[in-house]
Structure 1
Amino acid sequence: MAFPIWPGWLPWGTRLYDLCQSAQAATASRSRGIQRRLSALSTPSRYTNANHQLGRQSMAETTEVVIIGGGVAGCATAYYLAKAGVKATIIERNSIAGQASGFNAGGLNPLQGAGIPGPLAALAGESFKMHQVLAEQLPAESGIPFHSKTLVMVNVAFDESELSDMKETLEIFEGADGFSAHWMETDELLKMEPRMNPSAIKALYTYGNVSLTGYDYTKALCKAAEGMGASVVAKEVTGLKTSGSRVTG
């Protein structure tokens, strides 16, 4: 039994700036963007999000990048593309952050999770650094605070069998820059939280994970992207039209 330590949630947008620079170079060599025909799109759906009404029912005939979906992945992509000078259009059938991106726990732990430690560790570390930059810049760029804060977590053991995993967590946190961890004995734990079950044998105190409000974070990415030239269209994509290797609508 423990105060939960959230699993590694990989923030979207990692390495997107590098990818956007490549996209910018590619689009610069073309005299026009990808032609997008609205015949591939259905009629607008209803929008009830009072904080971000997607009432823009028209879309330029030409755009460099179309992003299908206004979740955190789509909005982060639009944000970093806009940073690189690439115009993007988000097409969202519901509301920005209206699905899973707006209702996730918002926990950032780059040290633990599926593939971490392991093959995804470097990706998670770089993603976390990008989040730290965004925590400073994005609220000012968008006007939307998303309440990013560093967490203290306490993982409580009631049985000796739980200590091996906690010891591994201790070593991981001690070895990472900006993170720390230490053991707490029962008396120290009870001073921190007198209502704790006194049968606890030990606890692990960790510092460094971050939490944020996923809904506001996604909205902030979208708003900042729009401020740099991205656009949002309230439509539903039902298919793609192609001509050779090009998407035309």
Structure 2
Amino acid sequence: MSDKLDRLQKVIAQSGVTSRRKAEKLIADGKVKVNDKVVSELGTKVSPNDRIEVDGVPLEKEKPVYYLLYKPRGVISSLKDDKGRKVVTDLIGEIEERVYPVGRLDYDTSGILLLTNDGEFANQLMHPRYGVEKVYVAKLEGIPDKMELGRLRKGVESENDVLKALRYKILSVDRKKNSMLLELTLNEGKNRHVRRMMDVLGYPVQKLKRERYGVLTLEGLQPGGFRPLNPKEVKQMRNLAVKNVEK
């Protein structure tokens, strides 16, 4: 219904401007106006007909959209690149809404990448406390044994981070080429997480692909292809995040 009321910070987050937590700080700092009046109370509710400004900029009321992209290697997970390299939004140029990536995949990593203009949805999937599982397949240079791989579940130290995998599964071993295909399940996503873990063990990643994100897979897509998420998938992803917090 058009007269539905929502909390102000939720409306700001859903617009894609920022996360709900940062929206709350902007409100508390007196940087948000509703119908030309400064609002600093976090419990304030607004309707779709209210005019909202955030730090002097009118809030654009776009309909929330959600896309799954099969990111190829050699593409930047960003909206622009100062080196002129191809970015993910170049692959979905015909979309009218202003979408941005949910997290990122490295330049040389392929696989599932979500794009949306819903800041709250993006924050739920990116924040470590929600712990939505992501599954990667890595081609390794070298063949680690099970004892070495067991260190991944305990965690390895790299650049002041402790990097872990929830689970791992050996998919194949090629002794002639001295390589292994390894499936890794993570519930967090630190910078170059998989590559750094394997570098610590001494088995560099030659190729890396994210094959599953929560309930989502790459089924039916080719590299560079994308599709909208259906309402059921959006709800399932939200429920996964909430369920993990409640554990």
Q: Which has the higher strand share?
A: 2
Q: Which has the higher contact order (CA 8 A, sep 6+)?
A: 1
Normalization by structure 2: what TM-score?
Answer: 0.29
Normalization by structure 1: what TM-score?
Answer: 0.28
In our comparison, the structure showing a higher alpha carbon Rg is 1
